[in-house]
Amino acid sequence: MRDAPLGSPLLLEPLLIERPWGDQRLARILGKPLPPSARIGESWETANEARVAAGPLAGLTVRELVERFGPELLGERGLAASQPFGDFPLLVKFIDADDVLSVQVHPDDEQARPFGQRGKTEAWHILAAEPGAELVVGLREPLPPARIRQLLAEGRLAAALERLAVHPGDTVFCPAGTLHAIGAGILLYEIQEQSDITYRFYDWDRVDAEGRRRPLHVEEGLAVLRPANRAQRLEPRAIDAWRELLVVCRYFRLERWAVRGRHELPLQPALTFHVVTCIAGSAELRADATRPVPLALGRTALVPATVTTLHVTGAATLLVASIPDWPDVSGL
Catalytic residue among 39, 163, 200, 226: 200
Q: How many CB atoms lie within 10 A of CB 29?
A: 17
Q: Do β-strands 15-23 and 40-44 pair in parallel, antiparallel, or remain unpaired?
A: antiparallel
Cα–Cα nearest to 185, from 103, 98, 102: 98
DSSP annotation of 209: T
Report pTM. 0.95
Cα–Cα nearest to 282, from 3, 17, 31: 31
Active-site residue, 200 included: yes
Domains in the chain, please, with CATH? 10-73+84-234 (2.60.120.10), 237-325 (2.60.120.10)
On average, the pLDDT of the chain sits at 94
pLDDT in the model for residue 328: 53
- The 10s digit of each residue's pLDDT in 212-266 is 888 899 999 999 999 999 999 999 999 999 999 999 999 999 999 999 999 999 9
CA–CA distance, 95 with 189 (Å, rounded to integer): 6
Q: Are 193 and 118 in contact (CB under 8 A)?
A: yes
- The 10s digit of each residue's pLDDT in 128-160 is 999 999 999 999 999 999 999 999 999 899 999
- pLDDT value at 56 more than 60: yes
Burial category of 302 from C-beta neighbours within 10 Å (exposed 0-12, middle 13-18, buried 19 and up): buried
pLDDT in the model for residue 97: 98
* Dihedral angle, C-alpha 96, 101, 107, 113, nearest 10 °: -60
Cα–Cα nearest to 252, from 170, 181, 194, 292: 194
CA–CA distance, 52 with 62 (Å, rounded to integer): 7
> Average pLDDT for residues 153-168, to the nearest whole number?
96
